Structure 1
């Protein structure tokens, strides 16, 4: 691979969508298919839970048989890295918007307890992506 880097400009809503997509991709790649299924539109509106659970079980079985290498490839951490970086930025921006912290302040406990406020940890072995607010 080349050493190229890219800049992508997103709205907050687009960043949130990309965060969710990266989380789902990362979870699918490590075999957490149930998490992805639960995010399908209308999933929680189902009334036939026996059918839902049977279908989830079958999808998990198929994924396990088709992807026996799940969790063994180091490059599968790229989507998780991206998810963490975006999640972290959006969480801190929400804290700023809510007045929980002021610019430059450190994390406030217990108001900022969630893992979203934790510094991202690289899982892929690659440098973490960067995300910053643009000047408008």
Structure 2
């Protein structure tokens, strides 16, 4: 592969990853997720951190949504999701990813691109679409 193509591919990959990997501290205040809820837990004095901890202890949980008291009932709510759907703006809610999913995302972000991924990035760069 030519050096110029490698440099362009590296630059394109850097742009794709510019947002950086998710981390356990990536909590989105004022956001929620729809669907894939398999457990909804009423919490007397729950916090987003408590909801996150419940998710991280449950092997089925991929993401969570905490809801402030008074929005869906008198108590705070913690929803555990079996997937990590795209978040949407939702005042009064907080969402995040499970610690396990965060670890998998970080591990994937640290590996070099595969030959197949390099080919796909190069075809995108040259405007080749299927």
Q: TM-score range by the shorter chain?
A: under 0.3
TM-score (norm 2): 0.21
Q: Choose 1 or 2 for highest CA Rg.
A: 2
Per chain length, whose mean CA-contact separation is higher, i.e. which structure has more relative contact order (CA < 8 Å, sep 6+)? 2
Higher helix share goes to which structure? 1
